[in-house]
Amino acid sequence: MNFQSKLATLALLALSLIAPEAAQAAHAKKHHDKAGEAKHAARHVKAAHTKKVAALPKAKAHYSSRKQVTRHASVAGKTAFRRVAAHEQFKQRLNIAEESAPQALQLFSNAAVVFNESNGEVLYSKNNTTAMPIASISKLMTAMVVLDAKLPMDELITIDEADVDTLRNTGSRLPVGTTLTRAETMLLALMSSENRAAAALARTYPGGTQAFVARMNRKAQAIGMKNARFFDSTGLNGGNAATAADLVMMVQAAHDYPEIRQFSTTQSHELVLSNGRHLHYNNTNSLVKDEDWQIGLQKTGFINEAGKCVVMQATIANTPLVIVLLDSDGKYQRLADANRIKRWIEAGGGARKLIAKG
């Protein structure tokens, strides 16, 4: 796919999510004008892209040292720039109307998006512009900020009293004084949603937790999460909020990092403490163990304000999708909704764009 086609696809995502109120006439006009408008806009975007990409970090290899983590940061930066540039160029030009049909997918999460990465179509959208708490989904942003800083992944981090949750007084199986590598700390934060691990990643960032959270917010704006706000690295703070549309962008950005893909989908991990004790951790998303699912990235979340949440990048019926499910009731509702999406796609429900009103 050439540069212009990629821009047009990215534009369809941004505007499908942002402009659900567009009229049917605009939808028809889009098909008539799409090729000419994409070509015209691409000239301006490509010029800006060439200038800004020159300033991005050069790619290097592997992730286990300062040199080893630079490659993915450069690629992720370029990708994020292209997404935001496409959004800015096209948001005033194209309007995509919402469609509804009796056979449209019915989900029970309070907010949801199903986005087809292969063609930029939003297959399902519900309350996608309402900002709401995102709980531990915040840890995807935490991981991106750590990796962008090119910190040594083999550096040892010790869990400190400052990492203990005093906001909600949640428990942890990770004792104060435990020493892990930064890589293992990130693994526990992403795979098992370990809050002390996420807090330690922020605390050991250059400048400390305050500088880390500021960087989270700058990163959110850079990748197009216009309605996102972060107050901590764990998601325990109910102020950490974003729209479902924002989270599509965050999932796509996070998917550019091989470490996040690997760590978030690891099924289990055995942690050996200095006293010889073994701690067995499982992934908080049981779907990663389901052979019927092909999940490239995932993150779950829960606090009372947020309800049960999950975001995923997954391939269903040979179609790469981003799935966002927020504020589900009950222990299993978010995964039940995910399985409804899977069955719907496999049955051909995503063959045409069906967007739920909401």
Task: DSSP for 224-276, please give it.
Answer: T-TT-B-S-SSS-STT-EE-HHHHHHHHHHHTT-HHHHHHHH--EEEEE-TTS
284, 317 contact by CB (below 8 A): no
Q: Which residues are catalytic?
A: 136, 139, 193
For residue 350, the tally of other CB atoms under 10 A from its CB is: 21
Collect all residues with Cβ–Cβ distance below 8 Å to 302 and sequence separation of at least 6: 135, 136, 308, 309
For residue 94, the tally of other CB atoms under 10 A from its CB is: 24
Strands across the sheet containing 111-116: 121-126, 111-116, 319-328, 307-316, 294-303
**Residue written as token pair 């906001």:** 167
CA distance 257 to 73: 8
Burial label for 171, CB within 10 Å (0-12, 13-18, 19+), is: exposed
What 3-state class would DSSP assign to 149?
coil
pLDDT of residue 169: 94
pTM (2 decimals)? 0.74
pLDDT of residue 62: 34
Nearest to 338 by CA among 348, 353, 351, 328: 328
40: tokens are: 């015209």
74, 57 contact by CB (below 8 A): yes
**Residue written as token pair 């370990």:** 194
Query: How high is the mean pLDDT in each 10-residue block of the chain (358 residues)?
Result: 49 46 41 44 42 35 36 45 45 33 74 95 94 98 98 98 96 96 98 98 98 98 97 98 97 98 98 92 97 98 97 97 96 94 90 51
Nearest to 185 by CA among 151, 228, 219: 151
pLDDT of residue 356: 52
* Chain centroid offset of residue 172 CA: 24
Helices (H), 19-60: 24-53
pLDDT of residue 60: 33
